[in-house]
C-alpha cells in the first residue's frame, strides 16, 4: 500500500467529521473527507478514526460508500458517485476514491481545487 495524500496546509477539507456504517453494521468514525489543493485528479481521501479499512474492504462497501456520498451531498455535491482509487492507494485508515468529472468541477468551483494539466 502506498501513502495517500497527507493532510497538509494545501489540503482541502470537503466534509467535517461524521460516522458511517458498513454492510455488517459496524460503525466507523470519520475525521473527514479531503482532497489535495492541486493535482491531476482530486482523489477523495476518507480519513478514519481507526485502522481496519483495508481488511473490511471499505473501498468497495456499498453501504459505507452510500454514507460517504450522503455526507458529500450535505456538503453541496450533487453529481454521480465515484469508484475506488487503485488498490495501491488504499490504506488501513484511509479510503481513497477516484471521482467523476462532475466532482472535478465541484472541487474547482466550490473548493478552489487547482487542476494541473
- The structural domains of the chain, with segments of one domain joined by +, span 1-79
Tell me, what's the pLDDT at 88?
A: 92
Tell me, what's the pLDDT at 7?
A: 57
Tell me, what's the pLDDT at 96?
A: 96
Tell me, what's the pLDDT at 100?
A: 86
In Å, what is the CA distance from 19 to each residue of 26, 33, 66, 89? 10, 12, 12, 22
In the predicted model, residues of the chain with pLDDT beneath 70 are 1-9
Amino acid at each position: 500500500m502506498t501513502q495517500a495524500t497527507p493532510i497538509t496546509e494545501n489540503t482541502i477539507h470537503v466534509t467535517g467529521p461524521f460516522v458511517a456504517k458498513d454492510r455488517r453494521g459496524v460503525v466507523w468514525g470519520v475525521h473527514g473527507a479531503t482532497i489535495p489543493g492541486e493535482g491531476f485528479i482530486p482523489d477523495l481521501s476518507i480519513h478514519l478514526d481507526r485502522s481496519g479499512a483495508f481488511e473490511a474492504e471499505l473501498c468497495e462497501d456499498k453501504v459505507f460508500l452510500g454514507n460517504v456520498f450522503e455526507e458529500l451531498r450535505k456538503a453541496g455535491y450533487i453529481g454521480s458517485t465515484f469508484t475506488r482509487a487503485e488498490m495501491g492507494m488504499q490504506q488501513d485508515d484511509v479510503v481513497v476514491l477516484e471521482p467523476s468529472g462532475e466532482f472535478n468541477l465541484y472541487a474547482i468551483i466550490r473548493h478552489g481545487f487547482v487542476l494541473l494539466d
